[in-house]
Amino acid sequence: MSLIVPIDTAPEFAPREDVAAPDRLIEGAPAFRTWAQDEAWAEAAQWGQIRTGVWEATPGTTKSMKGETFEFCHILSGRVEISEDGGGTFSFGAGDSFVMKPGFVGQWKTLETLRKIYVTATPVTE
């Protein structure tokens, strides 16, 4: 088994499809598609599960709450505006990368259908 996993930005397999949870929906009717492409358990004691894949969202606004999850994002296409509760607002588009740290709470406003590569790390819960 190879320890290098290329991320296919246009996967040919069917994605998991979902919509915003009612308690997180702020505006619009965003639909989400996720092409999970890798999953591993971290060696480090503090991080349990590492997930990698491609995610897509149609326009709309939702509440984003990371809890204890760390997320790295790289935008492939589309535009998003992210507002942190009590903080600033950031705009990202194709080619931009960013991190959402554990504890982040705010609004995720998809302005144009967005596709991103994601890597999440979630600590082990006992």
Range of the domain at 69: 19-90+114-122
Q: How far apart are the first and last CA of the chain?
A: 29
> Does residue 53 form part of some domain?
yes
What residues pair up with 110 in beta bridges, in sequence order?
60, 80
Decide: 65 and 85 in contact? Cβ < 8 Å.
no
> Does residue 54 form part of some domain?
yes
> Does residue 105 form part of some domain?
no
> Does residue 85 form part of some domain?
yes
* pLDDT tens series, the chain, 126 aa: 455 566 788 889 999 999 999 999 999 999 999 998 876 665 555 667 888 999 999 999 999 999 888 899 999 999 999 999 988 899 999 999 988 888 899 999 999 999 999 999 888 765
Residue for token digits 């982040």? 104
Residue 64, domain CATH: 2.60.120.10
Tally the domains of the chain.
1
Decide: 54 and 62 in contact? Cβ < 8 Å.
no
> Does residue 38 form part of some domain?
yes
- CA angle (100 as vertex; 96, 101 as ends), nearest 5: 145
> Does residue 103 form part of some domain?
no
Give Cα 44 to chain centroid, integer Å.
Answer: 22
> Does residue 2 form part of some domain?
no
> Does residue 64 form part of some domain?
yes
CA distance 74 to 67: 20
